[in-house]
Chains A and B, each alone.
Chain A
Amino acid sequence: MLTVLLLFVLICGSTGGEIAISHGAKKTGEPKRMRPREVLVFISQVMSNGWFLLGIPLMAASFFALLILFSWHPLSFVIPISALSYVVGALGAKYLLKEEVDAARWAGVILVCAGVALVAAG
């Protein structure tokens, strides 16, 4: 039961956190040039964004769930199940971030999800 709960935290925490940070990064706007100083300024701007502050605790919860799961189960169990985060992430992108997830992108996401599960189980 604890394993199921930790897998839920792992998948929803990482996906929710990434979606929040992605939203925060887009609100900040891309760096002017790809130079270290300007990328650092960009990162500090994203980090002071409320969406980033929402995303970090979600990702931290996911990270600790991952560490505990790694110590309980083999990688070949944890990673195939966590591959579901690709599908959950695409759903979040479509409904929360309002991205256009067309048929080609859905097909790609599903193939990647199945592929990651097979690789990790293999």
Chain B
Amino acid sequence: MASEKRLRIKTLIMVLAMVVCAVTGDLLLKRGMSELGAVQFTGSGLGQALMHIATSGMIWLGILFLLGFMATQMTVMSWADYSYVMPAGAFGYALQTFLAVVVLHEAVSMRRWIGVFLICIGVVLVGQTKPRTTECAERVSEKAVMSC
């Protein structure tokens, strides 16, 4: 029972770290690509887009955050189900909306609030299920086997 609680808390912390990295990374990428404008689907257009991507600090910072997202995601998926982590990570959309209202004082439509509500209910529902339903794989350490 104690190990199950520990597993839930550990999973929650990692999912939160994952969400923060993903939200920040996506925002930076969107801003970086918007500076470029519409990419033309031709050889020169794609080459120009690649050059922009390679030289944009905003995009590199976004990529750095997305690498952080990937590292936290890989770590949490070493013990938790993919079908548990993936929907729980959608809490990022709700977080973005709360930040838009609280920090940026943006007006948010009713449709968006309904979406946030559905996401929160969905995350709570997934959160009620066991974080891990598959059997333990080969472990790196004996300690990890004991907490399995």
Q: Which residues of A does B touch, CB under 8 Å?
A: 2, 18-19, 21-22, 25-34, 39, 42-43, 45-46, 67-68, 70-72, 75, 86, 89-90, 92-94, 97-102, 104-105, 107-122
Contact = CB atoms under 8 A, between A and B. Distances in A.
Given A105-B83, A117-B115, A71 B71 contact: no
Identify which of B41, B74, B81, B144 gathers the most chain A CB atoms within 10 Å of its CB: B74
A105 B129 contact: yes
Contacts of B127: 108
Interface in B58-97: 71, 73-75, 77-79, 81-87, 90, 93-94, 96-97
B38 interface: yes
Nearest to B66: A63
B134 A98 contact: yes
B44 interface: no
B71 A39 contact: yes
B117 A115 contact: yes
B83 A43 contact: no
B128 interface: yes
Given A31-B140, A43-B74, A115-B119, A105 B93 contact: no
A65 to B, nearest CB: 11
Contacts, number: 194
27 contacts: A2-B41, A26-B77, A28-B78, A29-B137, A29-B139, A31-B144, A42-B78, A43-B71, A43-B75, A67-B29, A67-B49, A70-B34, A75-B30, A98-B134, A100-B133, A102-B129, A104-B128, A108-B129, A109-B122, A112-B90, A114-B118, A115-B117, A115-B118, A116-B119, A118-B115, A122-B109, A122-B112
A122 B81 contact: no
Contacts of B130: 100
B75 A108 contact: no
A31 B78 CA distance: 8
Contacts of B114: 115, 118
Most buried by B among A21, A33, A39, A105: A105
B3 to A, nearest CB: 13
Contact of B115 (A29, A99, A122): A122
Q: Most B CB atoms within 10 A — which of A67, A98, A114?
A: A67
A32 B128 CA distance: 26
Given A105-B126, A112-B118, 5 more contacts: A39-B75, A43-B75, A68-B41, A93-B83, A118-B111
